[in-house]
A and B are shown apart, each in its own frame.
Chain A
Amino acid sequence: MAGGFAEAGADLELQGITKRFPGFTAIEDLTLTIPAGSFFALLGPSGCGKTTTLRLVAGLEDPTEGRILIGGKDVTDTKPYQRPVNTVFQSYALFPHMTVLENVAFGLRRRGISDPVGKAHEALRLVELDHVAQRKPAQLSGGQQQRVALARAVVNRPALLLLDEPLGALDLKLRRQMQLELKDIQADVGLTFLHVTHDQEEAMTMADTVAVMNKGEIEQMGAPEELYELPRTAFVANFLGQSNLFTGSVIASQGDLLTVDIAGRKLALPRQRAQRHAGEVTIGIRPEKLILHTTAPVEAAGTNIVGPGRVTDVSFTGVSTQYQVAVPGLGQVTVFAQNMVFGPVVNVGAEVWLTWTADHTFGIADDPATGPRFEPDTDTKTIALERRERLEAELDEA
């Protein structure tokens, strides 16, 4: 049993964690250190293994291989109720047969902490829900339930707080509000937060460090800005925000500048921002870094130019306008232009050139997968057969 409250957050160390389920491997050789007191986000698409990682840390699953250390102590073989870890579940998992107050006091009572009721009230005041202490969870709204779940976890002052996509069920406005509140609480109380989510905006807003996870492995980890402005793989480049990726060969390498030939155009990028320095490379530029020109721009050092191309789509999104530009040899290029004036800067069919500062270019380590635009539909027969096989497997098991 974890004794007393943690004074502050603790380090989390995952060493060589592998988790295999019958039929597939969820996590392959994961090694990760989360420093104490930080707000860490584990970001990735569904099925990438992030929730499994969370459950391993909580003790709700056992790793097939590897060790887990919290605050330097090996907790791999301990049960969940023995670890100084608390979880805010995606579905909140508030006990429906207890009042809000009893829910929050539950962990305190199990650990024999003195004055559980007083401390529970304190935690509820922290999330501004002390006035509903006597209600049952079913009588609260989604946002209120989420805050109670948070209070129930935080009241135990765990060394490590795990959040499993806790904001998924909230509407946009409430989600934004809760993101700020969570950040405040974390900073106030000084706990280590491990937040699992598939929402990249959420991860970048709240976390000090973001790790992007794909197919059981961490592709890149670092501060949000670092990941966004310098993605190292095509997956990260496309998962965090949008990217324009172009493939070409390196034709020159002088000093700290690389020059890449893409469809006849010579584009430059700083050597430090490139993962590969020779041969076929893929470079990228974020859509908001591109500038539209309606006349051929003048060549200048430190500026990359592509074009001319034709505008194929204009979409108004409130803050910005998105343009799709078809550039021969490059394909479709996406441009975000902040709406400084009313109306689009150019219309569909216009001939435009695109420029950007070379320093903003990044070079990734792999190639974008050249898959088709839509996954080819499986025909109905195959779907039916797959479904039947699955049912038969279930029946066999049962």
Chain B
Amino acid sequence: MQSIARFFARYTIWIYAALAFTFILVPIVYTIIFSFNDSRRSNIEWRGFTLDKWIYLCDNQGVCQAFANSILVGVVATVLATTLGTMIAIALVRYRFRFRGATTLLLFLPMATPEVVLGAGLAAEFLTAGVPKSALTVILAHTMFCISFVVVTVRARVASLDPALEEAGRDLYASPSQVFVRVTFPLLLPGIMAAALLSFALSFDDFIITNFNSGPFTTFPKYLYTAASRGLPAEANVVASAVFFLAIVLVITAQVASAARRKRLAAQ
């Protein structure tokens, strides 16, 4: 009797985890399955398996255009946010300056503000300034909310940089700019890349802020929202599933690569 109880005590958490993961993956599996559905206008009932939606994806122009728009916005916003955010992160960790408290507050607030407020506020501002809503306003909006996340990510990386390394650079005849280019920046790069990926992911998936600030310009999430009430075409599922698989492959590749590197280092 006791051993059965002990068995359960040991494995309860594994069983829970298995159930939890299954639960988490339910809508994902559903979405992927229905990307193969031979649907007509709405993708609610299963009609039959087909690869057509995958092969002839861009026959549905709305989906492909929206997807391309999302990529465009994501790339531009990521570049801007990563640059501005990295500069702030370096300044925060390395330098003394006045109004540090106010700066930290200004950086923290966007993350604490609900997206509706951010979206409505920006829309109000664009309205007052007479700027028409377009891809530009979306990019401006996305850059704004990504900066804070970039700062948080890069800041941790800058803080973990051993200052002795830069001192060694200076000791070894490197001028300040050479120290930055040859020592600091290469060591910060992993953190900057992580920040950029995070920023892109946030921008790509953003709906609420985009909804308020895009006007006629459609991104992929906005397309999904407007199409939801009419009936979502299976092509949307295809795009989402493709992105999903790509992301999984990237993550797994990164994990395998770092595990292989660790193994190689340990073997030496």
Contact = CB atoms under 8 A, between A and B. Distances in A.
Asked whether the complex places CB atoms of A and B closer than 8 A, the reply is yes
A94 B165 CA distance: 7
Given A95-B168, A96-B187, A398-B100, A81 B174 contact: yes
B172 interface: yes
B172 A91 contact: no
B60 interface: no
A381 interface: no
A168 B164 CA distance: 16
Interface residues of B, number: 22
B162 A91 contact: yes
Interface string A88-128: 01110111110000000011001100000000000000000
B268 A86 contact: no
Interface string A1-36: 110000000000000000000000000000000000
Given A95-B168, A152-B172, A139 B162 contact: no
Contacts of A85: 171
B173 interface: yes
A81 B187 contact: no
Contact of A110 (B101, B165, B167, B178): B178
Contacts of A139: 265, 268
Contacts of B172: 81, 86, 106-107, 110, 152, 156
A87 B173 contact: no
B231 interface: no
B80 interface: no
B187 A97 contact: yes
Contacts, number: 68
Interface in A271-293: none
Nearest to B266: A139
A93 B168 CA distance: 6
B265 A60 contact: no
A80 interface: yes
Contacts of B100: 398
Given A91-B164, A95-B183, A97-B187, A60 B173 contact: no
Interface string B151-193: 0000000000010110111111111001000110011000000
Contacts of B162: 91, 93
Contacts of B168: 87, 89, 93-95
Given A93-B162, A93-B168, A398-B100, A156 B187 contact: no
Contacts of A107: 172-173
Interface string B54-92: 000000000000000000000000000000000000000
Contact of A2 (B104, B173, B178, B182): B173
Contact of B171 (A86, A94, A136, A138): A86
A135 interface: yes
Given A135-B268, A398-B104, 16 more contacts: A1-B173, A2-B173, A81-B170, A81-B172, A81-B174, A86-B171, A86-B172, A87-B171, A93-B162, A93-B165, A97-B187, A107-B173, A138-B265, A152-B172, A156-B173, A398-B101
Interface of A: 1-2, 58-60, 79-81, 85-87, 89-91, 93-97, 106-107, 110-111, 135-136, 138-139, 152, 156, 398
Interface of B: 100-101, 104, 162, 164-165, 167-175, 178, 182-183, 186-187, 265, 268
